[in-house]
């Protein structure tokens, strides 16, 4: 049988697709031969960025309608220049913006984002991706993918995950997080917390609701509020962002975490969440280079 392939293209300035899809906000995108493959909602999606114009090409294998769902996900209509302009004018932000040109925030589906970040505590991004992948393969619905490609799965619903035993969830290598995932899936599945209604609340009220879920504290809540709900001031503070605050803003001073968090709540302005993502990506890229350089003895000589 022949499958259709539906394609479109957006001309968008300052959009680094690779940085955006790899920056630890979404966990299902993989690159194959210059094409980023993933799943948005119940559709397989292929994305490619043209080297010359920077235009983004999108492809699906089922009828895409008007593509509005994918434009929303990628936030291609967002005015990134205005976002960057809103950042505080200080050396750390200037450095972060300089090394992360075109980094964007996505707008993800709320349940997938919440469930994915429930797996994130004291895990590295590749391990989170692995857990998400196994959950999808074992409990997600099979959906249409490209001819001759791997099987493709939707992210499993809260209802399905609520019905899975904790032991079966643990077999996805998610460890102690299994009981949190199951517990939260149960609350969401029975309507104990409406993820739709959370989006109608103020940032503080929305965060208050989310942290009532088992396994969801302020950090994970802020990730969901930023990456799925799009609250522009949500500011997740993980070990990397804490490191950025310490090393870039207060080097050599042993400030307490609580003091740094208070600083972060007021310093970064109306697009603090975006600023956070730039700092996060900036310090991770910097660390990545250091790690890679340890690979060869000769470059070790250059040190830092």
Partner DNA sequence: AGCCAGGCAGAGA
Partner DNA sequence: TCTCTGCATGGC
The residues that touch DNA, with contacts defined as CB under 7 A, are 23-25, 117, 120-127, 170, 173, 175-176, 180, 211, 213-221, 223, 236-241, 243, 256, 258, 276-277, 280, 284
State the sign of the Cα–Cα–Cα–Cα dihedral 132, 114, 258, 89.
positive
By C-beta, is 4 or 259 nearer to DNA?
Answer: 259
Instruction: Find the shortest distance in angstroms from Cβ 82 to DNA.
Output: 21
CB-CB neighbours of 189 under 10 Å: 16
By C-beta, is 41 or 214 nearer to DNA?
Answer: 214
Distance (Å, whole) CA 281 – CA 252: 22
Instruction: Find the shortest distance in angstroms from Cβ 281 to DNA.
Output: 8
**Which of 21, 41, 36, 207 has the alpha carbon at shortest distance from 125?**
21
Cβ(249)–Cβ(92) below 8 Å? yes
CB-CB neighbours of 84 under 10 Å: 16
Instruction: Find the shortest distance in angstroms from Cβ 169 to DNA.
Output: 10
Instruction: Find the shortest distance in angstroms from Cβ 143 to DNA.
Output: 25
Instruction: Find the shortest distance in angstroms from Cβ 125 to DNA.
Output: 4
By C-beta, is 144 or 238 nearer to DNA?
Answer: 238
Q: At what angle do helices 177-189 and 110-118 cross, to 10 degrees?
A: 160
By C-beta, is 41 or 218 nearer to DNA?
Answer: 218
Give the H or E element holding residue 43: strand 43-49
By C-beta, is 149 or 192 nearer to DNA?
Answer: 192
Cβ(181)–Cβ(161) below 8 Å? yes
């Amino acid at each position: 049988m022949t499958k259709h392939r539906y394609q479109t293209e957006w001309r968008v300035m300052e959009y680094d697709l690779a940085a955006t899809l790899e920056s630890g906000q979404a966990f299902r995108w993989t690159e194959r031969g210059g094409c980023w493959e993933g799943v948005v909602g119940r559709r397989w999606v292929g994305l490619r960025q043209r080297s010359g114009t920077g235009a983004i090409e999108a492809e699906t294998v089922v009828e895409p309608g008007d593509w509005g769902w994918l434009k929303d996900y990628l936030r291609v209509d967002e005015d990134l220049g205005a976002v960057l302009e809103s950042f505080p004018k200080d050396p750390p932000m200037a450095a972060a913006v300089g090394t992360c040109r075109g980094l964007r925030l996505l707008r993800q589906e709320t349940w997938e984002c919440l469930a994915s970040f429930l797996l994130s505590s004291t895990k590295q991004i590749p391990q989170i991706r692995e857990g998400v992948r196994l959950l999808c393969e074992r409990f997600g619905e099979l959906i249409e993918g490209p001819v001759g490609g791997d099987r493709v799965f939707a992210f499993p619903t809260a209802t399905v995950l609520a019905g899975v035993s904790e032991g079966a969830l643990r077999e996805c290598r998610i460890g102690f997080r299994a009981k949190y995932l199951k517990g939260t899936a149960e609350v969401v599945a029975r309507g104990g917390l409406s993820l739709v209604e959370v989006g109608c609340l103020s940032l503080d009220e929305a965060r208050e609701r989310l942290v009532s879920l088992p396994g969801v504290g302020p950090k994970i809540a802020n990730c969901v509020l930023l990456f799925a709900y799009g609250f522009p001031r949500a500011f997740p503070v993980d070990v990397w962002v804490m490191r950025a605050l310490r090393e870039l803003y207060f080097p050599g001073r042993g400030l307490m975490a609580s003091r740094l968090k208070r600083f972060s709540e007021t310093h970064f302005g109306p697009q603090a969440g975006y600023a956070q993502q730039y700092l996060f990506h900036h310090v991770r890229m910097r660390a990545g280079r250091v790690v890679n350089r340890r690979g060869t003895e000769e470059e070790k000589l250059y040190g830092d």
